[in-house]
Amino acid sequence: MKGPEYRDRIVKYLEERYMPDLSKHIVSEHYVTPTYFRDTLNSHLGNAFGVEPILTQSAWFRPHNLSEDISNLYIVGAGTHPGAGLPGVMSSGKIVAEMISSYSGAK
Protein backbone atom coordinates (compact mmCIF):
# COMPACT_ATOMS: atom_id res chain seq x y z
CA MET A 1 0.00 0.00 0.00
CA LYS A 2 1.66 3.18 -1.28
CA GLY A 3 -0.79 5.68 0.28
CA PRO A 4 1.20 6.58 3.41
CA GLU A 5 4.45 6.66 1.44
CA TYR A 6 3.05 9.11 -1.13
CA ARG A 7 1.45 11.18 1.63
CA ASP A 8 4.85 11.59 3.31
CA ARG A 9 6.61 12.42 0.05
CA ILE A 10 4.05 15.08 -0.87
CA VAL A 11 4.19 16.73 2.56
CA LYS A 12 8.00 16.66 2.44
CA TYR A 13 8.02 18.18 -1.06
CA LEU A 14 5.70 20.99 0.02
CA GLU A 15 7.65 21.59 3.20
CA GLU A 16 10.99 21.85 1.45
CA ARG A 17 9.80 24.13 -1.33
CA TYR A 18 6.74 26.12 -0.31
CA MET A 19 5.40 25.55 3.21
CA PRO A 20 8.09 25.26 5.90
CA ASP A 21 7.01 23.26 8.97
CA LEU A 22 3.81 22.18 7.25
CA SER A 23 3.74 18.84 9.08
CA LYS A 24 3.81 20.54 12.49
CA HIS A 25 0.59 22.36 11.65
CA ILE A 26 -1.46 19.51 10.22
CA VAL A 27 -4.29 18.73 12.67
CA SER A 28 -6.50 16.70 10.35
CA GLU A 29 -5.87 14.95 7.05
CA HIS A 30 -7.52 12.60 4.60
CA TYR A 31 -6.37 10.92 1.43
CA VAL A 32 -7.74 8.30 -0.91
CA THR A 33 -5.96 5.63 -2.92
CA PRO A 34 -6.92 3.42 -5.88
CA THR A 35 -8.32 0.96 -3.32
CA TYR A 36 -10.93 3.55 -2.38
CA PHE A 37 -11.85 4.06 -6.04
CA ARG A 38 -12.09 0.30 -6.53
CA ASP A 39 -13.88 -0.74 -3.33
CA THR A 40 -15.99 2.29 -2.42
CA LEU A 41 -16.74 3.86 -5.81
CA ASN A 42 -16.82 0.54 -7.69
CA SER A 43 -14.39 1.90 -10.27
CA HIS A 44 -12.85 -0.72 -12.58
CA LEU A 45 -9.39 -1.69 -11.26
CA GLY A 46 -9.48 1.39 -9.00
CA ASN A 47 -8.91 3.82 -11.85
CA ALA A 48 -9.72 7.45 -11.14
CA PHE A 49 -10.05 8.93 -14.61
CA GLY A 50 -11.78 6.34 -16.78
CA VAL A 51 -10.66 5.27 -20.22
CA GLU A 52 -7.38 6.98 -21.13
CA PRO A 53 -7.94 9.51 -23.96
CA ILE A 54 -5.29 8.19 -26.35
CA LEU A 55 -6.04 8.28 -30.08
CA THR A 56 -7.39 4.74 -30.26
CA GLN A 57 -9.69 5.40 -27.29
CA SER A 58 -10.93 8.85 -28.31
CA ALA A 59 -13.86 10.20 -30.33
CA TRP A 60 -15.45 7.38 -32.37
CA PHE A 61 -13.14 4.81 -30.77
CA ARG A 62 -14.51 5.55 -27.30
CA PRO A 63 -17.45 3.49 -25.99
CA HIS A 64 -20.53 4.92 -27.70
CA ASN A 65 -23.40 6.65 -25.95
CA LEU A 66 -25.89 4.13 -27.30
CA SER A 67 -25.05 0.55 -26.42
CA GLU A 68 -24.37 -1.75 -29.37
CA ASP A 69 -25.20 -4.79 -27.24
CA ILE A 70 -28.32 -3.89 -25.28
CA SER A 71 -31.28 -2.31 -27.00
CA ASN A 72 -32.26 1.16 -25.75
CA LEU A 73 -29.38 1.36 -23.26
CA TYR A 74 -27.86 4.85 -23.26
CA ILE A 75 -24.51 5.51 -21.62
CA VAL A 76 -23.25 8.76 -20.10
CA GLY A 77 -20.22 9.73 -18.06
CA ALA A 78 -16.46 9.73 -18.07
CA GLY A 79 -16.07 6.26 -19.56
CA THR A 80 -18.00 7.03 -22.72
CA HIS A 81 -18.07 9.72 -25.43
CA PRO A 82 -16.78 12.45 -25.36
CA GLY A 83 -14.69 11.79 -22.25
CA ALA A 84 -13.71 12.45 -18.65
CA GLY A 85 -13.74 15.73 -16.76
CA LEU A 86 -16.83 17.67 -15.84
CA PRO A 87 -17.17 19.45 -19.23
CA GLY A 88 -16.93 16.05 -20.97
CA VAL A 89 -19.40 14.43 -18.61
CA MET A 90 -21.89 17.32 -18.96
CA SER A 91 -21.54 17.12 -22.75
CA SER A 92 -22.11 13.39 -22.56
CA GLY A 93 -25.36 13.95 -20.67
CA LYS A 94 -26.46 16.58 -23.17
CA ILE A 95 -25.67 14.31 -26.14
CA VAL A 96 -27.65 11.44 -24.63
CA ALA A 97 -30.61 13.70 -23.76
CA GLU A 98 -30.66 14.91 -27.38
CA MET A 99 -30.39 11.35 -28.71
CA ILE A 100 -33.29 10.18 -26.57
CA SER A 101 -35.47 13.12 -27.48
CA SER A 102 -34.73 12.79 -31.20
CA TYR A 103 -35.34 9.03 -31.25
CA SER A 104 -38.53 9.36 -29.23
CA GLY A 105 -39.78 12.31 -31.28
CA ALA A 106 -40.02 14.48 -28.14
CA LYS A 107 -38.81 18.10 -28.21
Ligand X SMILES: Cc1cc2nc3c(=O)[nH]c(=O)nc-3n(C[C@H](O)[C@H](O)[C@H](O)COP(=O)(O)OP(=O)(O)OC[C@H]3O[C@@H](n4cnc5c(N)ncnc54)[C@H](O)[C@@H]3O)c2cc1C
The residues binding ligand X (CB under 6 A) are: 41-42, 48, 77-78, 84-87, 89
Q: What are phi and psi of 66, to 5 degrees?
A: -115, 120
Q: With contact defined as beta carbons under 8 Å apart, do 41 and 75 qualify? A: no
CB of 78 to ligand X, least distance (A): 4
CB of 21 to ligand X, least distance (A): 26
Dihedral sign for Cα atoms in the order 68, 72, 78, 83: positive
Query: Closer to ligand X at the Cβ: 14 or 41?
Result: 41
CB of 43 to ligand X, least distance (A): 7
